[in-house]
Amino acid sequence: MIERILVAVAGRGLCEEMVNMLMNIPAFQGASITLLHVVTPKTIADDMAAKLEEGGKILAEAVQSIKVDPNKVNARLKQGDPKTIVCEVAEEENADLIIMGSRALGRLRAILEGSVSQYVFQLASRPMLLVKDDTYVKRIKRVMVAMNNSPEAQQSLELGLSLTRDVEGGQLILTHVNPPKPVDRPEDDEVLAAAAAEAKKLGIKIRCIASSGKAGPEICQIAEDTNADLLLLGSPDRRPSIAKSLVDLDRLLGTSLSDYVRVNADCPVLLVRR
């Protein structure tokens, strides 16, 4: 259940729009929201004062734009490196979900340009909803869940069920790329059949899609073909086992499914972790 949401605001308004869309969903309506804006320290005091004043205005505008009970909104203005501050505040607030904007940079470019969302995605242990700059935020009705046998996929399904169960006209799109056994109908796939059975118990409208090919492109194509409003993808905890404070460059430069989808999907992507 999503009870505490951390929203990293940057003054562009996309994350605030996404929060308002989520608040139309019954499963989110009881959640409290922390709006966080981080100001990078400056060496000159006058510059720092100006940046803090600007940051305060950004936070004030964000608070005004969020259409929820003001008593459920906590605004925090922090100084420091945004990449580490977001992770720290997520732990302090015990956030169930982090919402961030994303420029959707490729892996190598994200490293070279110091992408905040990439860093947080790499090191945070919590689910993240990434809203790309070029993504139009709309009412969430069609929720797509990429399924397999992993615990993270099962948690994605549970969240997808909660998102769609009480939404008028809601639909859950269940997909499984490269199922181990070929099937004549998607509904015959064991993974999809089990997920569909859970959805039917709740009276949720479903659509099952089984496909083959390279997982990343296939998932993105299905999201586009079905006009998904939100894509849920299980993403294992990616923090390095040796040095939790260092970005795992091998994974960043590798062929991570999560990395590919977050960059290339044409809808908001919620990366789910246990």
**pLDDT at residue 153, rounded to an integer:** 94
Q: Is residue 77 a part of any domain in this protein?
A: yes
Q: Are 27 and 55 in contact (CB under 8 A)?
A: no
Q: Is residue 10 a part of any domain in this protein?
A: yes
DSSP for 24-92 reads TSGGGTT-EEEEEEEE---SSHHHHHHHHHHHHHHHHHHHHH--S-GGGEEEEEEES-HHHHHHHHHHH
- Our CA dihedral for 194, 198, 199, 200, rounded to 10 degrees, sits at 100
Alpha helices in the chain (DSSP H): 14-22, 45-65, 82-93, 107-112, 116-123, 151-164, 190-201, 215-225, 249-252, 257-264
**pLDDT at residue 262, rounded to an integer:** 83
Give exposure, 178-216, as e/b (b: 16+ Cβ within 10 Å).
Answer: ebeeeeeebeebebbbebbebbeeeebebebbbbeeebb
pTM comes to 0.85
Q: Is residue 55 a part of any domain in this protein?
A: yes
Q: Which residue has the tokens 């580490």?
A: 84
CA distances from 154 to 72, 134, 150 (A): 29, 29, 7
**pLDDT at residue 179, rounded to an integer:** 92
Q: Is residue 249 a part of any domain in this protein?
A: no
Q: Is residue 144 a part of any domain in this protein?
A: no
CA distances from 152 to 44, 77, 148, 198 (A): 46, 32, 9, 16
Q: Are 153 and 182 in contact (CB under 8 A)?
A: no
Angle, CA 8 vertex, CA 248 and CA 38 arms, to 5°: 85
Q: Are 143 and 229 in contact (CB under 8 A)?
A: yes
Closest by CA to 229, choosing from 62, 22, 23, is 22
Q: Are 160 and 127 in contact (CB under 8 A)?
A: no
Question: Structural domain of residue 8, as residue ranges?
Answer: 4-138
Tokens (6 digits) for 34: 């922390």
**CATH for 9:** 3.40.50.620
Q: Are 162 and 198 in contact (CB under 8 A)?
A: no
Q: Which residue has the tokens 């993270």?
A: 152
pLDDT in tens, the chain (274 residues): 789 999 999 877 788 989 999 998 988 988 999 999 998 876 566 677 888 888 889 999 999 999 888 889 999 999 998 888 999 999 999 999 999 987 654 444 444 334 677 778 777 788 999 888 766 667 899 999 999 999 999 999 999 999 999 888 999 999 999 999 888 899 999 999 999 999 999 999 999 999 999 999 999 999 999 999 999 999 875 554 433 444 444 444 445 788 888 888 988 999 998 6
Q: Are 92 and 120 in contact (CB under 8 A)?
A: no
Q: Is residue 251 a part of any domain in this protein?
A: no
94: left (phi over 0), alpha (psi -120 to 50) or beta: left
Count of structural domains within the chain: 1
